[in-house]
């Protein structure tokens, strides 16, 4: 079963959108543009608030050596 994690390799701020891209197998650049567009169209604050909340809730991906063990 797949789990959603923040990405360690593909990150700009905290790796949330990179993790979403890995989870859904979508290019994170597309998701970043979509997130920014939705944030701007929703008066910016709700999108930023959702991003910050998600960064606090979604755990960081385990390190490579932790996955193998």
* Local confidence pLDDT in tens for the 69 residues of the chain: 889 999 998 888 899 999 999 999 999 999 999 999 988 998 888 888 989 999 999 999 998 765 555
pTM (2 d.p.) = 0.80
Q: Write down the pLDDT at residue 29.
A: 93
Count of CB atoms within 10 A of residue 19's CB?
A: 25
Distances in whole angstroms, Cα of residue 32 to Cα of each of 42, 66, 69: 15, 28, 32
Q: Write down the pLDDT at residue 68.
A: 56
Q: Which residue has the tokens 């970043």?
A: 32
Contact 50, 44 (CB under 8 A): no
Orientation angle between helical segments 45-57 and 28-41, nearest 10 degrees:
130
């Amino acid at each position: 079963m797949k789990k959603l994690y923040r990405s360690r390799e593909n990150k700009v701020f905290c790796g949330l959108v990179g993790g979403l891209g890995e989870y859904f197998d979508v290019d994170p650049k597309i998701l970043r543009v979509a997130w920014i567009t939705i944030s701007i169209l929703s008066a910016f604050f709700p999108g930023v608030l959702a991003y910050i909340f998600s960064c606090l809730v979604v755990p960081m991906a385990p390190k490579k050596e932790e996955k193998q063990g």
